[in-house]
Amino acid sequence: MKNIFFTVGPSQLFPTIKKHIKSALEADICSISHRGEKFQEIYKKTTNNLKELLGIPESWSLFFLSSATEAMERILENCAKEHSFHFIGGAFGKRFFEISAQLGKIPQKIEVEPGLGFAFPDANIPKETELICFTQTETSAGTSVPMEEIYKIKNKYPERLITLDVVSAVPCIEINFSKIDGLFFSVQKGFGLPAGLGVLTMNDECLRKAKKLEEKNHCTGSYHRFSELKKMADKNQTKETPNVLGIYLLGKVTGDMLQIGKENILKDTKEKAKIIYDYFDGHPIYKPFVENRKIRSDTIAVINTPNVSKKIAGKLREKGIIAGTGYKDFKGTQIRIANFPAHSVEDINNLLQEFKNL
């Protein structure tokens, strides 16, 4: 029996991945030099495809890192001398905050309980803030911050840098890049790739801030400080030997997604999200954890399944359907369902059918 993974990442591989891995092996992609032309072409192709698919401005820099967690560290090292400000609605927002504290900075925050939204009209950012950190989609709780609220914050505080963790949102989200300064994600979620690659993209404001910190000898890291990343990216290379296969696969999958069309991916995501939430809104017992529809994530649906999440996950597994359980404290009381481009409408309907049969 073939399994299908609705786990929130790593998740179901994008349908073309196996084919691309096969072609990578045939073309010796895992043996080529990371200093050679062939690699540089792959690097450039992946960068260009990502920019086109996500609408990232040509002028933005795009760097390959090893994970989204690394991206949190690097952006804090390079864009905040001391003062970061965090909107926290779950475990990954907390991680972003903690990394700032571990780096010796003075992070501040607005924190809400998982599943709840922020009271944006009251959100006052302290004047010393250098970097505002949003976990746009909180994978642990299934919430998302409406992009319009983020843009309003930028309008209110145009001098502060704004960066977004969109790990579980891309490529199923529309972003106005003129209203933010940077974002990052990893590839084992919406892109349906094997894990082990992160992407960080940013405007020149972020690079300028990093340069200023570097010139004043603040600790901005070493081989992955922004000036080094930029210098190497301009050569379509990385300082270290990178995850070449990952960069190749990301180029291929983004190429496939461009063929499908961004519009279709967005439309499908909305459609599948509606099917999921409509079903559970109408379910007598298993209800969506996030009550406020405006902040429900399209890509991560968290469902309350009091005391039976493991039992449900076990029953689904018997049918080859792998669903995630709740995050940490919610492990026993929630099911998390990913709705990524690798999941078809049919897959979602099959999943819900099994819920009906429970």
Q: Name the one residue in this structure whose structure tokens are 């299934």.
A: 142
Q: Which is nearer to a second copy, 244 or 312 (CB)?
A: 244
Distance separating alpha carbons of residues 355 and 315, to the nearest angstrom: 9
The site that binds a second copy (CB under 8 A) totals a number of residues, namely 57
Residue 32 interacting with a second copy (CB under 8 A): yes
Q: Name the one residue in this structure whose structure tokens are 């922020």.
A: 118
Residue 12 interacting with a second copy (CB under 8 A): yes
CB atoms < 10 A from the CB of 314, how many? Answer: 10
For 52, counting Cβ atoms within 10 Å of its Cβ (0-12 exposed, 13-18 middle, 19+ buried), the class is: middle
Residue 211 interacting with a second copy (CB under 8 A): no
Q: Which is nearer to a second copy, 178 or 223 (CB)?
A: 223
Which among 155-163, 169-177, 195-203, 285-293 is the span making contact with a second copy, rule CB under 8 A? 195-203
- Out of 73, 165, 268, 298, the only residue in the binding site for a second copy (CB under 8 A) is 73
Residue 245 interacting with a second copy (CB under 8 A): yes
Least spacing, CB of residue 106 vs a second copy, in Å: 12
Of the candidates 224, 195, 260, the residue with the CA atom closest to the CA atom of residue 7 = 195
Query: What letter would DSSP give residue 16?
Result: T
Distance separating alpha carbons of residues 21 and 25, to the nearest angstrom: 6
Distance separating alpha carbons of residues 197 and 12, to the nearest angstrom: 16
Distance separating alpha carbons of residues 244 and 21, to the nearest angstrom: 12
Residue 219 interacting with a second copy (CB under 8 A): yes
Q: What are phi and psi of 131, to 5 degrees?
A: -135, 125
Which among 112-120, 158-166, 214-222, 295-303 is the span making contact with a second copy, rule CB under 8 A? 214-222
Residue 21 interacting with a second copy (CB under 8 A): yes
Of the candidates 211, 233, 185, 205, the residue with the CA atom closest to the CA atom of residue 78 = 211
Residue 46 interacting with a second copy (CB under 8 A): no
Which among 233-241, 250-258, 296-304, 343-351 is the span making contact with a second copy, rule CB under 8 A? 233-241
**What are the strands, taking DSSP E only, across the chain?**
4-5, 61-65, 84-88, 108-111, 131-135, 137-138, 143-144, 161-165, 182-186, 198-202, 300-304, 321-322, 324-325, 334-338
- Out of 146, 194, 255, 332, the only residue in the binding site for a second copy (CB under 8 A) is 194
Least spacing, CB of residue 294 vs a second copy, in Å: 28
Least spacing, CB of residue 163 vs a second copy, in Å: 16
> By the 8 A CB rule, do 161 and 131 touch?
yes
- Out of 153, 244, 273, 301, the only residue in the binding site for a second copy (CB under 8 A) is 244
Residue 18 interacting with a second copy (CB under 8 A): yes
Tokens of 212: 């200023």
**Looking only at residues 115 through 154 of this chain, which bind a second copy when binding is defined by CB under 8 A?**
none
Footprint of a second copy (CB under 8 A): 3, 5, 7, 9-13, 17-18, 21, 25, 28, 30-34, 65-70, 72-73, 76, 95, 98-99, 102-104, 186, 188, 193-197, 217, 219, 221-225, 239-246, 322, 324
